[in-house]
Structure 1
Amino acid sequence: MTGSGVVLLLAISSAAVGCALLTWTLMPLLARYALARPNARSSHKTPTPQGAGIAVIAATLAVTAIAFASSAPALLELLPLFAAAIAIGIVGAVDDIRPISVLPRFALQALCVGVVVVCLPADQQIVPALPLWLERTALGIAGLWFVNLVNFMDGLDWMTVAEGVPVTLTLAVFGLFGAVSPSPMLLAAALGGALIGFAPFNRPGSAKVFLGDVGSLPIGLLLGWCLLQLALQGHVAAAFLLPLYYLADSTLTLLRRMLQRERFWLAHRSHFYQRATDNGFSVREVVRLVCLTNLALAVLAGASIALESIAADGVLIAMGGALVAALLMRFAHRKA
């Protein structure tokens, strides 16, 4: 095994152990101050502590910072991202305990995403033909949407694990082959490890704790940044394929609610994965199918990087779209 492979394994295992220990330590405090009570839009039946995202983010940032402790330039490059992740996590923590109204919440989230986008190197672009200001504006809007869609999709036990672990560990593997630089590679490995450490506490049917907005929002920010780094390396199709299920479920649900003139900014239970549980699928079945779909999308993303062909990218994206569409249609109908 190469030195980079050993470092990745250490990052994954350290983050997993650190997150598990911190989650276990925090649970009595979360049960006292951050209890999520069931309502008409909930998927859980009993009051459950939320806020384990504190442990996930703390483990992720700590392990990443330690990995780059001997490289001041790399650590300085990550500081704006770390600061934004902590700030958006604080916004989520406040919202978990005492809900914030829509406009201030989105404004604060936009500020955090904007800091990350503004701090990108000026010589890095996905589409060099575009004016830099236009691409950065588009990235800010996309980043804000990605942060929120990860939050929207965190509505079942293990759902964020089923999405986050395949995507982050795939990004880490891509880093071993030079598709992403060491910073996103190690950050993705640490985030994937932290989610693995969180998973035993969030088992479907016996979940002891939830991530909360304090976890899902910064997870979306960190994951979005890693995918952006993949796109900036020229692997746009791969960066699009990896989170395609989340993108499709959230975006189609939003569009459907807007067309039906619903108050789309309010919490609801109309995502495809939520409709699946109403249609006879167990939570374990839903997250298993989502995880398997994400693994298949990871293979397609890897093929895109290996083939380095615009024509192949088109075919692979079409294949990924068909795969995701089949899953969404399956979720939208009663289980046979």
Structure 2
Amino acid sequence: MIADPAAILVGIALLSAAMCAVLIVLLRPLLQRYALARPNARSSHKIPTPQGAGIAVVGATLVVGGAFASVMGFAPLLMLFIAVPLLALIGLVDDIRPIPVLPRFILQGFAVALVVFTAPDDLRLFPIPLALERSLLLIAGLWFVNLVNFMDGLDLMTVAEAVPIAVTLVLFGLSAWLPWPATAIAAALGGAMLGFAPFNRPVARVFLGDVGSLPIGLLLGWCLLHLAWQGYVAAALLLPLYYLVDATLTLLRRIARREPFWAAHRTHFYQRATDNGFTVAGVVGEVFVLNIVLAALAGVSIASGSMAIDAILIVIGLAAVAVVLRRFSRPRSGGA
């Protein structure tokens, strides 16, 4: 057993935050020169802004989180530490020169498959054939990685999502509800996102880029999957529920309208909110508060240990998300 795990986890977060911030300062001139995101019809920013700070976030998470997580000799970390840099590389290339849709999804699917299909066979969610369950997890993982990327379209949006989830996972780890390696990775990722936050607050001086949002999606998904493998499926769904609902409803709406759903756009609810008079700070603030509510519901779910209560909590979570989405989809007079 690790001595004083709370102090160690705080240290992980602080070290990761510091490393991330230093890396961003060092990388920003290079990103300014070679990875400039120029505004277009689908952008939320108005001036050319360097992207690629995800290199610092992911790098700090892997170096700091990996060093502490590996203390327990956790074998699945090996494939995670192959898959995450692979996704980052795919994102980096796509940031500089867009990759066609099909090759991009195939490469992303390979990275997710490395994590899903190499997990120990005794980690199960449902009483169905293992191959079927892992195939479904591959599809879910690929969707989750991409929805985190889709939702990274506003200053501090990914911070407002990732930090509450990471902090909650760390608290769950301290309560022995999440394995130590996943807890350490969550602490490092949460710290790295806090180190990134000052550079991404409105008006952002730097963006994550696909090099950051894609691997962050895999890191979050990996941690949430380990929470689900502990038997806390409802909690693992509640924590990212806003992202899941916004991205999924937007995808279904675009498919129903026969729009090219794989193409970049600005029809997510949080994007429509800024078009409807909400400020960036107002949108991000509401998402952050909603995520705190969802985190509390996830904690109640684990503490209760009741499937009936889980169902009620998911309904409450969906209702809370629906309230926010409804607000975002309606014009707001006077700003947020």
Name the TM tier (shorter chain): over 0.9
Deviation at 1:119, TM superposition (A): 1.0
**Cα 1:141–1:70 shift into 2, 3 Å:** closer
Q: Which residue of 2 aligns with 1:317?
A: 314
Normalising by structure 1, we get a TM-score of: 0.97
Q: Which residue of 2 aligns with 1:221?
A: 218
Contact 2:69 2:180 in 1 (8 A): no
Say whether 1:132 aligns with 2:130.
yes
Deviation at 1:82, TM superposition (A): 1.1
Deviation at 1:70, TM superposition (A): 4.1
Q: Which residue of 1 aligns with 2:86?
A: 87
Deviation at 1:79, TM superposition (A): 1.2
Aligned mates of 1:66, 1:84 — CA distance in 2: 17
Q: Which residue of 2 aligns with 1:246?
A: 243
Contact 2:70 2:77 in 1 (8 A): no
Specify the code of the residue in structure 1 equivalent to 2:140: A
SS at 1:173 equivalent = helix
Specify the code of the residue in structure 2 equivalent to 1:115: L
Deviation at 1:68, TM superposition (A): 3.8
Contact 2:69 2:182 in 1 (8 A): no
Contact 2:251 2:261 in 1 (8 A): yes
Aligned mates of 1:181, 1:263 — CA distance in 2: 40
**Cα 1:122–1:176 shift into 2, 3 Å:** same
Aligned mates of 1:122, 1:131 — CA distance in 2: 11
Aligned mates of 1:43, 1:290 — CA distance in 2: 17
The C-alpha deviation readout for 1:251-308, integer Å capped at 9, x for no partner, is: 0000000000000000001000000000000000000000000000000000000000
Say whether 1:29 aligns with 2:30.
yes
5 Å matches for 1:87-236? Answer: 87-127=86-126, 129-205=127-203, 207-236=204-233
Normalising by structure 2, we get a TM-score of: 0.97
Q: Which residue of 2 aligns with 1:7?
A: 8
Contact 2:92 2:211 in 1 (8 A): yes
The C-alpha deviation readout for 1:64-98, integer Å capped at 9, x for no partner, is: 12214544x22x43010011000010000000000
Aligned mates of 1:156, 1:330 — CA distance in 2: 17
Specify the code of the residue in structure 2 equivalent to 1:176: L
Aligned mates of 1:259, 1:312 — CA distance in 2: 34
Contact 2:70 2:181 in 1 (8 A): no
Q: Which residue of 2 aligns with 1:294?
A: 291
Aligned mates of 1:241, 1:37 — CA distance in 2: 35
- Between the aligned residues of both structures, percent identity stands at 60
Aligned mates of 1:311, 1:282 — CA distance in 2: 39
Q: Which residue of 1 aligns with 2:46?
A: 45
Aligned mates of 2:81, 2:294 — CA distance in 1: 28
Aligned mates of 2:99, 2:320 — CA distance in 1: 37
Structure 1's consecutive aligned runs of 4 or more residues displaced over 2 angstroms after TM superposition are 68-71
The C-alpha deviation readout for 1:89-143, integer Å capped at 9, x for no partner, is: 000000000010100100000000011001110111011x100011000000000
Aligned mates of 1:232, 1:119 — CA distance in 2: 14
Q: Which residue of 2 aligns with 1:77?
A: 76
Specify the code of the residue in structure 2 equivalent to 1:28: P
Aligned mates of 1:197, 1:306 — CA distance in 2: 31
SS at 1:298 equivalent = helix
Q: Which residue of 2 aligns with 1:20?
A: 21
Q: Which residue of 1 aligns with 2:65?
A: 64
SS at 2:76 equivalent = helix
SS at 1:229 equivalent = helix
Q: Which residue of 2 aligns with 1:260?
A: 257
Aligned mates of 2:76, 2:93 — CA distance in 1: 28
Contact 2:178 2:230 in 1 (8 A): yes
Specify the code of the residue in structure 1 equivalent to 2:243: Y
Specify the code of the residue in structure 2 equivalent to 1:255: L
> What number of residue pairs does the alignment pair up?
331
Deviation at 1:152, TM superposition (A): 0.1
